[in-house]
Amino acid sequence: MAIERALGRFDTVMGTAWPGQFAALQPGLDDSGIDRLRAAIDPFVLPHQVEELYRWRGGGDAGVFGGWRMRSLEELIPWYEFTNTELGEPPIWLPVFDDQIVNVVTLDHPSGSPSDPSVWYCHTDDGMLNRLFDSIEALLDVVSEAAETGALSAGWGGRLVLTETEESLDGRGWSALRLRRCPSAFRWPDPPPGTYLSRTPTSDWPRPWRSAVGVTDESLTLRGTTHTIAELIAAAASGQVAGTIRGRVVTGSSVADWWNPVVSDGSAELVVQCDRRLIPITPAMGQEAEFDVVLESPEVPVPITDDDPILVAMANRFRPLLPTAVAHAARLV
C-alpha cells in the first residue's frame, strides 16, 4: 500500500537526517490501542492511512511532520471530544496533527465509500480552511523530500519547518515541494482554478487535474443538440424523452449534492437536475453548456399560494414553475 511505502521512506530519511527529533516519536500502537481509537470515533470508521500511521508510531512532542506534531493517543482522544463538543467541529474531523486548533483528516462513514484522504489545516486566528496535502502519504513524501534536499530547518520549539517557498496557484506563498506533490492544494473558500472544489472543469485545466475528477478529453467534446428545449418539452407530452439540449444557465438552486440550474436556449426554459457526485461538469450561472437529459413529463409544479410574499418567492426559487429534466452529462460550450 502507498502509505506503508511512504512510512518506510520517512523512517529511513528522517532517522538519518534528524535522528534526535525522530527518536522522540513514541512506539506504534498495538491492537488494543487501535481498538481504543476506534471506540472513541464510533460510529465513524478509522481510515486505513490513519491506522497505519498509528501502528507505525504513536505520536509525541516532536514536530517532525513539516513543523507539525502528531498527537499521541492520550492526547488525540480527549482533543477529538473537545473539538466536537466545545468547538462545534464536525465529528467526522479527526485532529491527528497539532498546529493550533484545526488540523485534521476526515474519518470514513460506515455506510459510504472511503472519505477524502486530504490533510486540512486552519489557524486559530485565520478562519480559512486550507487543503495542504492530498493525503498523509503525500505529507510524508513532501517532508522526506525536504529532508533529502536540505529544505527542513529547526524552527520554534525545535519543530522542523519547510523553508522553501514560492508563489502558489492562489497567489499566496506555499512550499514548492508541497505544490509539486499536491498541485490541488488550496485555501478555502478561494480554491485556485483546477482544484477539485473550485469551478467546473474546463479544457484549460491541466490533464492530471481533470483526470482526478473523472473528466476526459472525450467528456469535454461537444456532441451537438438533438432538440431545442421547446421541442423536448413538446415531445415529452407523449411520454419520456431523452435528448441533448444546449442553453445558458440563467438561475438555479442547490440542495445537498444537487445543482438545479434553470437553462434557457431562447425557445423555452427548463430545470435541469445535476447530481454533482455523478456529473463533474456542473455549469454555473451565466455559463452555456450542452446537457444530455431525460424528461419524464412536460408538467410543471403546482404554484404555492401564501399570504407571505417572501415565502412564495423562496418557493419559486427552489421550485420554478417549469418542467424538470434529469441530466446524465454536461459539457461546457
3-state DSSP of 56-76: HECCCCCCCECCEEECCHHHH
Half-sphere exposure of 196 (CA within 13 A, CB side): 18
Residue 315 has pLDDT above 70, yes or no: no
Mean pLDDT of the chain: 80
Indicate where the chain has its CATH 3.40.1580.10 domain(s): 2-198
pLDDT number for residue 235: 96
pLDDT band of 161, cuts 50, 70, 90: confident
pLDDT number for residue 114: 75
Please name which of 20, 21, 24, 22 lies closest in space to residue 9, comparing C-alpha atoms.
Answer: 22
Indicate where the chain has its CATH 2.40.50.140 domain(s): 229-332
Q: Which position has the grid cell 488525540?
A: 76
DSSP 100: S
pLDDT number for residue 175: 57
More confident residue, 185 or 61: 61
Please name which of 245, 303, 311 lies closest in space to residue 272, comparing C-alpha atoms.
Answer: 245
Query: What is the CATH architecture assignment of 229-332?
Result: Beta Barrel (2.40)
Cβ partners under 8 Å of residue 221, min gap 6: 331
CB 258 within 8 A of CB 327: no
Q: What is the pTM of this model?
A: 0.56
Of the candidate ranges 132-146, 168-182, 202-216, 310-324, the one whose mean pLDDT is the lowest: 168-182
pLDDT digits (tens, 9 = 90+) for 14-73: 999 999 889 999 999 999 999 999 999 998 899 999 999 999 999 988 888 887 889 999
Is beta strand 324-332 parallel, antiparallel or unpaired with respect to 269-275? parallel
What is the rounded CA–CA span in Å between residue 130 and residue 265? 39
pLDDT band of 287, cuts 50, 70, 90: confident
- 151's torsion region: left (phi>0), alpha (psi -120 to 50) or beta? alpha
DSSP 169: T
Residue range 271-287: average pLDDT?
A: 82
What is the rounded CA–CA span in Å between residue 300 and residue 235? 15
What is the rounded CA–CA span in Å between residue 100 and residue 119? 15
Most confident of 217-221, 247-251, 318-322: 247-251
Cβ partners under 8 Å of residue 166, min gap 6: 173, 174, 176, 179
Cα 239 from chain centroid (whole Å) = 39
What is the rounded CA–CA span in Å between residue 104 and residue 57? 18
Maximum CA pair distance of the chain? 77
For helices 31-41 and 48-56, the axis angle rounded to 10 degrees is: 140
With residues binned 3-state (H G I as helix, E B as strand, rest as coil), the percentages for the chain, rounded to 5, are 30, 25, 40
- Looking at the domain that runs over 2-198, which CATH code has it been given? 3.40.1580.10
Provide the grid cell at 303: 404554484
Handedness of CA 73, 74, 76, 77 (dihedral sign): positive
pLDDT number for residue 194: 44
Residue 174 has pLDDT above 60, yes or no: no
